[in-house]
Structure 1
Amino acid sequence: MRSPRDFFLPLAIGAPEPPRVIPPLASRMIHFFDPSNARMVGKLPALAPTVDVLLGNLEDAVEIDNKEAARAGLVEVALTVDLGTTSLWARVNALDSPWILDDLTDLVLQAGEQIDVLMLPKIQGPEDIHYVDRLVAQLEARAGLSRPILLHAILETARGVANVEEICLASPRLQGVSLGPADLAADREMKTTNVGGGHPGYLVRADAVNGEYDAPRVTAQQDLWHYTVARMVDACRLAGIQPYYGPFGDITDVLACEDQFRNAYVMGCVGAWTLHPKQIEVARTVFTPDPDQVAWARRVVEALVDGAGAVMIDGKMQDDASYKQCQKILAFADLVAARDGTSRDGAAGSEG
């Protein structure tokens, strides 16, 4: 058992101190790219201003013969491509793969000052985070890094979901958690082949009227991921880190992608993965607070001043709980405004 007093001490001599607070930064879209694809890499300078996070992918979408080229390509991007204020993340290979050790070693030693977050796939329990935490600290010490690299876990196994609270609390360098619906569906043996999104067979049907069971009845498709997203959000908020929805695989169905992203946003997620440029604007729209909601939140906060008591606004009772909800909306709107260079109402320029 580790003493709480030691939790924020470096795990290697000479490594930077772990962060005590994860900096709250807008990360509405985590946009994936293949670092071994020269054409894709060539578009990064123009793409960077349109996204909050660019993520170099070394894992599943990269063919085995391309693993080393992707790793070298990501180091090259980190060292030579000007991404402005856009964060650079890396998704490394799984901890049981033959590439993970070289992924971590090369990325930290060669590009550790440029890479903000290492995304870790198929995390099963806190022991996985402990392993990477110690190893990255040793590599940081060797590289002489001035700041710690953060970690991000992907929730894509049944065991990972069962251990999500322990995972979120495993290290002070953990930045957040993303839902990985496709791998999770396979591990759970769910009867779907979609990458995220719903399934037409997962629905509820209105009761029969007057015993007419064969008559047409209204049906509504349910959200396959509601339970998992809710549990992930709770675990992340417990640990003071950020929850994200993962990929939506049907690139052509922009409307359904927006629905799935919005479900996650309403439930507390701060962003989602984008796999194609057309999903970038979807994520921006969904994970940017609506100006009307922001204006309402400001009215409530201004009316309650310090959150005490209760007031009626437009026939609706507002009290301390309303005040807290609205403060969260305004805080998130400020993060997004800082990233986009607008006021929290969506107008250009800073708020007076």
Structure 2
Amino acid sequence: MIFEMGPALLFCPGDRPDRFTKAAERADAVILDLEDAVAASAKDAARAAIAGADLDPARTIVRVNAIDEGVLAADLDAARSAGITTIMLAKTESARQLDALEGFAVVALCETAAGVVHALDVAAHPSVVALMWGAEDLVASIGGSSSRDETGAYRAVATHARSHVLLAAAACGKRAIDAIRTDIADLDGCRAEALDAAGSGFFAKAAIHPSHVAPIREAFAPSADEAAWAQRVLAAADAQPGVFSFEGRMVDEPILRHARTVRARAASSPLRTQQDTTTDVPRAPEEAS
């Protein structure tokens, strides 16, 4: 399954088949984009490229256009032709929209006011495996001009949407994906956002450039000290059930659940530190940001 592969999901324009394999090799999963990363005049070419893609379906998502664009059938046909079964629906706004995606596992992208407000209903839909949020389209949908303030921090409405989408996904037992960072050169900012995402409960973070893959992986992989602590405290819990004191700290079930999460991440996401230095910058999609 997509989300067992690792936390770094890399967008790739659907009309750049020369980058498909490269993107898949550099990230834990690739998102082939048919929406904003592709000009209207290139949509058909992008569908043809995706239909002929030779990628691992377990590590590939196709982002399809919003329902009201009227091209969903063509987008889905392209994914089916490539054997891809996981779809990201741009601008998801209601659970009812998801009925048109029967047969696909769906990542619902909540990036408008309606999408965020209805995130709980969307997450409850049986086809949905994950929610993702996006800041720029959200702010645009409510008449704003920027998702961040003069310090570079998200505005309150964006942080509210981020938290709401995360909680809606968790309430329905689904995964949550953190939005991209649009500043490609700011690797420290990407790492800081990914650290917060991992600590808050997101299972992955999306990226629009391969240079962000390493900071995301590093952020989601527990440090050696964190992994060792998790192993120690869980071993101690086996010997003394119930609340107990461990290394000067009170330990109860919530703390043990934190430790199990750390242990699981340490097992499934080994620290990968190689830094991609490519200067071939893909066109950044305006969504999912």
* TM norm structure 2: 0.85
- Partner residue of 1:157? 112
Residues 1:58 and 1:23: Cα distance change in structure 2 (over 3 Å): closer
Counterpart amino acid of residue 88 in structure 2: M
The match for 2:280 is: none
Deviations 1:187-225 (A, max 9, x none): 123341x5xxx422688xxxxxxxxxxxxxxxxx87663
Shift of 1:130: 2.1
Q: How does 1:27-46 map to 2 (within 5 A)?
A: 27-41=6-20, 44=21, 46=22
Q: Which has the higher contact order (CA 8 A, sep 6+)?
A: 2
CA shift digits 1:272-308 (9 cap, x unpaired): 1111111111111112222221111111111111773
Task: For residue 178 of structure 1, report the CA deviation from its aligned partner.
Answer: 0.8
Alpha carbons 1:229, 1:264 under 8 Å: kept: no
Query: Is the alpha carbon distance of 1:91 and 1:306 closer, same or farther for their aligned partners in structure 2, counting shifts above 3 Å?
Result: farther
Residues 27 and 188 of structure 1: CA distance in aligned 2, closer, same or farther (over 3 Å)? farther
* Paired amino acid for 2:123: C
CA 153–27 in structure 1, closer or farther in 2 if over 3 Å, else same: farther
Q: What is aligned with 1:127?
A: 96
Once residues 157 and 224 of structure 2 are traced to their aligned partners in structure 1, the CA distance between those partners, rounded to angstroms, is 30
Greater shift, 67-76 or 319-328, is seen at: 319-328
**CA distance change for structure 1 residues 107 and 309 in 2, over 3 Å: closer, same or farther?**
closer
Give the drift of 1:59: 0.3
**Paired amino acid for 1:328:** T
Q: Quote the sequence identity (%).
A: 22
Correspondence list, 1:261-280, <5 A: 261-280=194-213
Q: Distance in 1 between matches of 2:193 and 2:51?
A: 33
2:73 aligns with: 101
Asked if 1:166 is matched to 2:117, the reply is no
The one-letter code matched in structure 1 to 2:233 is V
Cα deviation, 1:149-184, whole Å, max 9, x if unaligned, reads 31110010111111111100012x311011111101
**Code of the aligned partner of 2:107:** H
Following TM superposition, by how much is the alpha carbon of 1:96 offset from its aligned partner in structure 2, in angstroms? 0.7
Structure 2 vs 1, CA of residues 125 and 98 (structure 1 numbering), >3 Å: closer, same or farther?
closer
Cα offset for 1:86? 6.1
TM-score normalised by structure 1 residue count: 0.71
2:143 is aligned with 1:189? yes
CA distance in 2, matches of 1:233, 1:319: 24
Does residue 335 (structure 1) correspond to residue 268 (structure 2)? The answer is yes
How many residues are paired up?
A: 272
- Is the aligned partner of 1:258 residue 2:191? yes
SS in 2 for 1:118: strand
Indicate yes or no: 2:61 matched with 1:89: yes
> Which residue identity lines up with residue 36 of structure 1 in the other structure?
D
Structure with greater helix percent: 2
The separation in 2 between residues aligned to 1:202 and 1:88, in whole angstroms, is 31
Alignment of 1:198-213 (within 5 A): 198-200=148-150
Unaligned runs of 5+ in 2: 273-289
Query: CA distance change for structure 1 residues 258 and 190 in 2, over 3 Å: closer, same or farther?
Result: farther
Contact 2:217 2:269 survives alignment (8 Å) = no
SS state of the match for residue 4, structure 2?
coil
